[in-house]
Copies of this chain bind each other. A is one copy, B any other.
Amino acid sequence: MNPINLRYLNKGDMVDGIALVKSAEVRVSSTGSRYLDIMLMDATGEMNGKSWDWGENPAPEVSGVIRMKGMVTEFNGKPQMRVDRLRAAKEEEINWANLVPCAPEDPDEMLRELKRVARSLADVDYAALAEYMLEQYEDKLRIWPAAVSYHHAERAGLAYHTLSMARAGEALLGLYTFLDRSLLLCGVLLHDLCKIEELDASAQGVAAGYSTEGLLLGHIAAGVRRAAEAGMALGLPGEKIMLIQHMILAHHDIPEHGSPRRPMFPEAEMLHHLDVMDARMYDMSHALAGVTPGEFSDRVRSLENRRLYKRLENDDNNSESIE
């Protein structure tokens, strides 16, 4: 079944396709009639919809997939879907890649590469720790997003963010040769793993919000504790457990961002830079995706409300830039 591609619809478009139900509620209009208020979602974006004569039907299930027909109208200057018909989608109509935003690489392949990195660590202790932790979180890592919104808030976004950092770290190890590869890459692999405990996500990799423990403790405190438990279970030397704990604790760099300690050795410092650099590159490229060259984006909340500039395309002489 073709996806609706909500982001690219215009007023007046007739629609027949599938979408994910982000939220749905039956309401009563000022004239007393019951209507459905539904938030539709697919991999391209979201759109509010109304089905005006809903009667006594129950609202569709949240996180379910529906097939619908309707037309795009406009309300308060924004597009709105007038839903004319709606039913649960059949199994064979569903293609998840069209319904939720996904990381740009295959989850299974990413997991294999992350494990290859873990096995490649020359220090057997860090290798063992990284492999152990990846195994524990493996299943969820295949689908988990890295955030509720902003950077890497997409299916398998956590694995993709971790892998990008590992690749960038590998590239920079050739320049900053005093860094311990095993320590740095072990830190990269573990630093955000406990976002799996911090975030609640659906089976489709859409973050629904924060877990209770996520709000009360956060992924950094959880990560410090889980790394210590794993390290002791594996019999790692105390020094190495401590170094990894510190890297997790310090990877947000400053207290205001959630790190009670600032990085106190070079690998911890580099981990922080790999993290923020990858997040910023992701946010910037996404924020500029729909912007016309020569214009500015709207203010981007995850980039401290900066507006971003989309540079004009270079001429033919700029062949090395494969965008």
Contact = CB atoms under 8 A, between A and B. Distances in A.
A192 B323 CA distance: 28
Would you list the 5 A-B pairs with minimal beta carbon distance, nearest first?
Answer: A171-B171, A255-B255, A216-B246, A122-B320, A266-B284
A80 B80 CA distance: 24
A258 B261 CA distance: 8
A213 interface: yes
Interface in A119-176: 122-124, 164, 167-168, 171-172, 174-176
A304 interface: yes
B261 A216 contact: yes
Contact of A309 (B25, B28, B212, B296): B212
Count class of interface residues, chain A: 35 or more
A245 B217 contact: yes
A270 B224 CA distance: 26
A9 to B, nearest CB: 14
A116 interface: no
A63 interface: no
Interface stretch (A38-46, A83-91, A94-102, A178-186): A178-186
Given A164-B175, A215-B309, 13 more contacts: A30-B73, A177-B323, A212-B296, A221-B261, A225-B228, A239-B311, A239-B312, A264-B309, A265-B309, A266-B281, A266-B288, A270-B277, A270-B281
